[in-house]
Amino acid sequence: MCFSCERRFTTYERVEEAAPMVVKKDNRREPYERNKVIAGVVKACEKRPVSMEAIEQLTGRIEAAVAERGGKEVPSSFIGSAVMNELHRLDQVAYVRFASVYRSFKDIEEFMRELEELIQRRKQDPDLTQLPAKKGEPTS
Q: Is residue 124 part of a domain?
A: no
Q: Is residue 98 part of a domain?
A: yes
Q: Is residue 129 part of a domain?
A: no
Q: How confident is the model at residue 44 (pLDDT cuts 50, 70, 90)?
A: very high
For residue 36, pLDDT beyond 90:
yes
Q: What is the dihedral of CA 40, 89, 10, 20, to 10 degrees?
A: -50
Q: How confident is the model at residue 137 (pLDDT cuts 50, 70, 90)?
A: very low
How many distinct structural domains can be found in the chain? Answer: 1
**Average pLDDT of the residues in 3-15:** 77
Strands of the 21-23 sheet, one edge to the other = 29-31, 21-23, 73-75
Q: How much of the chain, in percent, has pLDDT values that exceed 70? A: 85
Q: Is residue 35 part of a domain?
A: yes
State residue 28's pLDDT score. Answer: 96
CB atoms within 10 A of CB 19: 15
Return the bridge partners of 22, or none: 30, 74
In this structure, what DSSP letter does residue 25 have? T
Residue-wise pLDDT for 87-115, tens only, equals: 988 998 999 899 888 777 778 888 888 78
Q: Is residue 37 part of a domain?
A: yes
Going by DSSP bridges, is the β-strand pair 21-23/73-75 parallel, antiparallel, or unpaired? parallel
Q: How confident is the model at residue 127 (pLDDT cuts 50, 70, 90)?
A: low
Q: Is residue 5 part of a domain?
A: no
Angstrom CA distances, 11 to 14, 56, 60, 64, 70, stand at 10, 14, 16, 20, 28
Q: Is residue 69 part of a domain?
A: yes
- Its domain, for residue 46, covers 22-104
Quote the CA–CA distance of 44 and 48 in Å, as a whole number. Answer: 9
Q: Is residue 48 part of a domain?
A: yes
Q: How much of the chain, in percent, has pLDDT values that exceed 90? A: 47
**Which residue, among 132, 123, 65, 59, has the nearest Cα to 90 in the 3D structure?**
59
